[in-house]
Structure 1
Amino acid sequence: MLTLFVTAFMLGLLFNAAPGAVFAKTISEGAKGGFKPALAVQIGSLVGDALWAILGLLGIGLLLQLDVIRTPVAIAGIAYLLWLAWDNWQEAKTEFSVGEIDDNPLVKKALRDGMMLSLTNPQNIAYWAALGSAMGAVGVANPDVGDYGIFFAGFMVSSIVWCFFCAALVDQVFKRLGFGWAKLTYQACAVAFLYLAYASAQDLWQQTALVA
């Protein structure tokens, strides 16, 4: 039981620490508003992570890999990444004082963005569909509801720990930087979102070509 929890905890850290759209959005929000908006992105992403985790561990994740479901999710994700790229590039043109703005509107927007990025990420579907059908790889030959519950708990605990660690790290880094660096960060995040959209579109095209 403890081994399963620790394994899920470590897998959760690897899953959350991997660079991607959520991490880029955390940086862009933290560069402007500090700890709270950065944390809001991370917490928002947990909503999607939790949903995909539950569906994957229940085995429903395999059904979500069907093209009729996976393709619309992928298209929505690509469109949202493109919008974030444009939004971050526009934000880079707006002058502001780092950490000295009203963070309430930022927190709400960051929470929504984190949720959308996670819910429209087709990689989450594949990740949890694979784990949901491969519990034997972590030492459980015939998993029951209790095993799934322990695995899910381990993953979510590590995700919550990562949320606070990542947000605090971003806050401490950008607290010492001025608008010039924040502007460059927004531009870099815009480029990152654009690249992620391109990579997602390329992956979707390849998947469609294989099916055809």
Structure 2
Amino acid sequence: MIEVITDIKTSITSEHLQEMRRTPFFHLFKMFYEGKIEKKDATKSTKTLLKLISSYDKVTDAFVIGGVHLKLIVDDVCLIFGFKKNGKLIMPLYPKGYSEVETRFVRTHFKDHTLLHKNAIIDSLLWAFVPLVEELDEKEKISWAHAVHYHLMANIKKHLNKPTSVSSCVLLLGYWFCEHVNVIEQLPGYEKRFPRAAKWSFLKLNDYMDNKSIDNMESSK
């Protein structure tokens, strides 16, 4: 996200910003656009995230942190990424790998593509998401907090025996962990920042978690 916004920042006009304010993603976009989060603080560590994914207990539908069962809920997504909770539910999406999206928009703009690469739309995009972004007015009616939560948790449950296969916004797990477990200090001056993702540094988290066990963590809840 940081690299994409950096590349296009000089091309973003006041009209673009006005339109972005109408979207459910404005708070998240603004955090990067205004430079309130640095790349080093938003760079994930696979090792750290694998520890968090592996702590998930399917029976209780919770992550076991230091012996305490903690649930990741939709409200966490709202606070961490600034998404609204109200709106239409869109679970599930088309299956992963689904490429039979056939609409006038797709035929016009992507008729020669089997996968949308960044040279076509600045970043890669699964076909499953195309119907959701095609009608721009429709995106405001969707509960993106529910969507992110559903697809991350569904992915974790599906790949619990192979955590490296988990996708679907795994960065959320790191921010959620920082919010609920007292392991690192918040970034100075950002204690009341919203979205709450701006309060935390993955660089600090990764350094702290390098040789730590989830079993020895102490929940703040």
Q: TM-score, normalised by structure 2?
A: 0.22
More helix as a share of residues: 1
More strand by share: 2
TM-score (norm 1): 0.23
Higher relative contact order (CA 8 A, sep 6+): 1
